[in-house]
Structure 1
């Protein structure tokens, strides 16, 4: 009779907690009892572990096994505890060295034949283990590249439970098995689309660069075929490469979503474009058991694009209001709270009316005025008030097409260089503050002595506020966009021209 313990990692959102897995052999009656607040998938681990151990040539004891996951008050989800449970049981039976098992953190799901399946969330789990002071982690062979992205951690990749047992001192002959590969969607991704593909719409292209320079949200309205989706898809290509902290966060989110990371961290901003039938849980995250990130969390440090925005349910759109302000998504459940990052740029696109032809020069709209008002009113005023840039996009004409083919078009590489220079200017100006982007600067600072603009520069903006044309939140957002325009143009402070352009971009749909 014996006792052995090892460690695994429980994830709640992107936060990992260390779980001690204890296995105790007692009594003569066969059976396995798993305690410590496991969910349904984890409760089934006992059957997976028993079958995997038998098929690996190291069957579990026939005596009673009690397995405890500590701390007992912490909810545990998923199948990533299988490897730790199996090795704790084998350690209690002296098949492997209990001391060796106790020094290693084990993460992985077992197949019935004893092979190890790659586990979603491996990167944040290894980060948590390293942060909590553990230097050695054993993972499935398919997760080795991903786990090795965490510096300062010794990663041991094993293809099967038999290989893991041999590494821990079991007297078994090695058997060659084919490891189960991890998904690697990152390797299959194509290059980012280029601005050079856009014909016409010069105002919209400039607005995208301003949005990229300051991290601003965008709302585009125009008839079908005007190029709204093409424009939105090219915004990530204008954004700078991710810094190391953001790269680790984006890669961890991708890992947690089960999409695979590959052998390098993600360095380009992500683009998420959920369908308009998405639920609130699909948008911001949720789940009755394990809490999973939604599209807004997966878009953090990148772009969340909502095409046909009025077709989304109102509750889904309004669920984005709080993340747009705070940059964090907090999902509360009875057994815990999960936090996900949500520092994304929101891009929405919409037709001007149900038939889509209102304002088009070539076709007549068949919608009554009340129908047009109701259609765009599906996007609530409080959400629209958080959008910095609102503009109309028109279809290109034949004359514009001929002119565009004869003149050179802007490419994403050149535009991105301008954006990088603008962001550098903003970061230098905001040095010594908690902010690096104009979109994150609070209104009191913008209106304070540090960044206050002259009365002549803000005269038009002041009149718009007095007449109720914009709210106080809108006033501050116009100032933020004005600073982004100034940074993009290389001027020290916004003047009348920059503030007027920012106000036009704010009120472009109603002007």
Structure 2
């Protein structure tokens, strides 16, 4: 008897439905699993046999063939245990097969039949909905995550016997159906706030501009000036995630197995801060079976690189293309997988090895040329892709001892949301463009039309600072964002001047 069950395979951050055909014949005495399974799938025979025996049923002692189609897609992991086990029991006539075609099932089995959690439940559920399945049967730990997909019934189980009972009588289980809106109640709640930062008004202004336009930024200043403290508060002024963005972000974290416990949906924009010892594969993604890296885990959020010159140069250089294209392509011999990587890059660094170059009070102890050598650890092409170069100065004692409350994140966030709303309206007819930082050159020419005075002002800056064509585009984008924050329909000279002054690392001889 041939029976079909359905599972799912993850490729990149998307899922592909896998048809699992089980044929129990009257001859032979072995179980064969074909269709490009890995070792974890092949080893499922022992787990399935033990589970079936624990249920008081019997493992077929005749020839049993399990075919996993499409056969050219590699099947990895132990999550196929559940659909294979139910297929074997149905094909041997021990449970009814009438409802199998309506449900997608995935779950790893323990020897006693307990269901273990899996990775990638959300993309599996999204694909199941596209393919017209009535519902999904998944581990209870993953059910709320998968239930974020509207219009799909998701059933969470903790033991295979619950799946068998459900397939016999579908009324034995109730679908898990949390409303996505309930997870947005705490979206405005953060553990940190900009009101905790004393002084540093210019730096706060720069981060507000970065948040309003989705721009990349680098903070450069002496140790103890508050660079890391300011960076960690950037997510508190970013616009809230839309439901679509939340689903995209959650899908990536689900595939990577990074979804926090008891959090079926990511409601805050990610803030990823990898250590400077990270490898290039861990940063951009990779591996024998490609997994998303830190830049993809930061999708729709912030990637913070603290002490930027301490990162290996090779690691930093692999980011150049993803920063521009907002995706990363991992190529292997048989396949190429795209991972989304639309993130804000925020970096910080000291101005020199000792950290006190240009300090108003402490003297720099670095030897001649050391400052420039230190800056040269970060390549020019990468710096060119960073819109805002922000010099961070030490906090004055008067600011530190002030009892006056600083502006909190809520007020700053309101201005950012207002500016983003203007941009959303502006780019409504352009697919994949949601903020000023994402504009391509052709769109930039039509959106950032500047006056003769602004053009003259920018021309002088280009000549004096020896700026590249990419830096020219960056200045136009930043000036457009500043105008949006001010509610101006056109870019004025004051907006252009503020954008130009955020190109400090472009100054010739800055480190000399």
For structure 2, the 5+ residue unaligned runs are 173-183
1:350 and 1:150 map into 2 onto residues whose CA distance is 42
1:141-220 matches, within 5 Å, as 141-169=140-168, 191-220=190-219
| Equivalent of residue 494 in structure 1, options 487, 491, 494 | 491
Q: Hey, what does 1:285 align to over in structure 2?
A: 285
Q: Hey, what does 1:470 align to over in structure 2?
A: 467
Cα deviation, residue 297, structure 1: 0.3
Q: Report the CA distance shift for 1:239/1:216 in structure 2 as closer, same or farther (over 3 A).
A: same
Q: Report the CA distance shift for 1:61/1:383 in structure 2 as closer, same or farther (over 3 A).
A: same
Cα deviation, residue 228, structure 1: 0.6
1:60-117 CA distance string (max 9 Å, x none):
2122221111010112222221111111111110111122223211111111221101
Q: Hey, what does 2:96 align to over in structure 1?
A: 97
Q: Hey, what does 1:136 align to over in structure 2?
A: 135
TM-score, L = length of structure 1: 0.92
Q: Hey, what does 2:276 align to over in structure 1?
A: 276
1:113 and 1:431 map into 2 onto residues whose CA distance is 54
1:78 correspondence with 2:90:
no
1:446 correspondence with 2:444:
yes
Q: Hey, what does 1:256 align to over in structure 2?
A: 255
Q: Given that residues 7 and 106 in structure 1 are in contact (C-alpha distance below 8 angstroms), is that contact kept between their aligned partners in structure 2?
A: yes
1:350 and 1:263 map into 2 onto residues whose CA distance is 33
Q: Hey, what does 2:176 align to over in structure 1?
A: none
Q: Hey, what does 1:436 align to over in structure 2?
A: 434
Q: Report the CA distance shift for 1:187/1:298 in structure 2 as closer, same or farther (over 3 A).
A: farther
DSSP 3-state at the match of 1:457: helix
Q: Report the CA distance shift for 1:23/1:356 in structure 2 as closer, same or farther (over 3 A).
A: same
More displaced 10-residue stretch of structure 1: 313-322 or 466-475: 466-475
Q: Given that residues 21 and 85 in structure 1 are in contact (C-alpha distance below 8 angstroms), is that contact kept between their aligned partners in structure 2?
A: yes
Q: Hey, what does 1:180 align to over in structure 2?
A: none
1:394 and 1:111 map into 2 onto residues whose CA distance is 58
Q: Report the CA distance shift for 1:409/1:508 in structure 2 as closer, same or farther (over 3 A).
A: farther
1:199-241 CA distance string (max 9 Å, x none):
1111100000000000000011111111111111111111111
1:65 correspondence with 2:64:
yes
Q: Report the CA distance shift for 1:379/1:43 in structure 2 as closer, same or farther (over 3 A).
A: farther
DSSP 3-state at the match of 2:33: strand
DSSP 3-state at the match of 1:33: strand
Q: Given that residues 109 and 116 in structure 2 are in contact (C-alpha distance below 8 angstroms), is that contact kept between their aligned partners in structure 1?
A: yes
1:25 and 1:69 map into 2 onto residues whose CA distance is 15
Q: Given that residues 192 and 237 in structure 1 are in contact (C-alpha distance below 8 angstroms), is that contact kept between their aligned partners in structure 2?
A: no
DSSP 3-state at the match of 1:456: helix
Q: Hey, what does 1:411 align to over in structure 2?
A: 408
RMSD of aligned C-alpha atoms?
A: 2.2
1:493 and 1:27 map into 2 onto residues whose CA distance is 80
DSSP 3-state at the match of 1:156: strand
1:458 correspondence with 2:461:
no
1:39 and 1:219 map into 2 onto residues whose CA distance is 44
More displaced 10-residue stretch of structure 1: 34-43 or 465-474: 465-474
Q: Hey, what does 2:373 align to over in structure 1?
A: 374
1:426 correspondence with 2:386:
no
1:330-345 matches, within 5 Å, as 330-345=329-344
More displaced 10-residue stretch of structure 1: 268-277 or 205-214: 268-277
Q: Hey, what does 1:177 align to over in structure 2?
A: none
2:155 and 2:106 map into 1 onto residues whose CA distance is 11
1:387 and 1:132 map into 2 onto residues whose CA distance is 42
1:483 correspondence with 2:480:
yes
Q: Hey, what does 1:178 align to over in structure 2?
A: none
2:48 and 2:370 map into 1 onto residues whose CA distance is 60
DSSP 3-state at the match of 2:382: helix
1:107 and 1:81 map into 2 onto residues whose CA distance is 6
Q: Hey, what does 1:30 align to over in structure 2?
A: 29
Q: Hey, what does 2:398 align to over in structure 1?
A: 399
Q: Hey, what does 1:387 align to over in structure 2?
A: 386
Q: Given that residues 108 and 117 in structure 1 are in contact (C-alpha distance below 8 angstroms), is that contact kept between their aligned partners in structure 2?
A: yes
2:210 and 2:103 map into 1 onto residues whose CA distance is 47
Q: Hey, what does 1:266 align to over in structure 2?
A: 266
Cα deviation, residue 191, structure 1: 2.6
Q: Hey, what does 2:179 align to over in structure 1?
A: none
1:230 and 1:58 map into 2 onto residues whose CA distance is 60
1:24-67 CA distance string (max 9 Å, x none):
12354432211111123222222222222222333321222211
Q: Given that residues 272 and 299 in structure 1 are in contact (C-alpha distance below 8 angstroms), is that contact kept between their aligned partners in structure 2?
A: yes
DSSP 3-state at the match of 2:136: strand
2:186 and 2:418 map into 1 onto residues whose CA distance is 31
TM-score, L = length of structure 2: 0.91
DSSP 3-state at the match of 1:94: coil
DSSP 3-state at the match of 1:99: coil
Cα deviation, residue 318, structure 1: 1.2
1:12 correspondence with 2:29:
no
1:433 and 1:4 map into 2 onto residues whose CA distance is 47
Cα deviation, residue 495, structure 1: 0.8
Cα deviation, residue 264, structure 1: 5.2
Count of matched residue pairs: 492
Cα deviation, residue 467, structure 1: 5.0
Q: Report the CA distance shift for 1:86/1:273 in structure 2 as closer, same or farther (over 3 A).
A: same
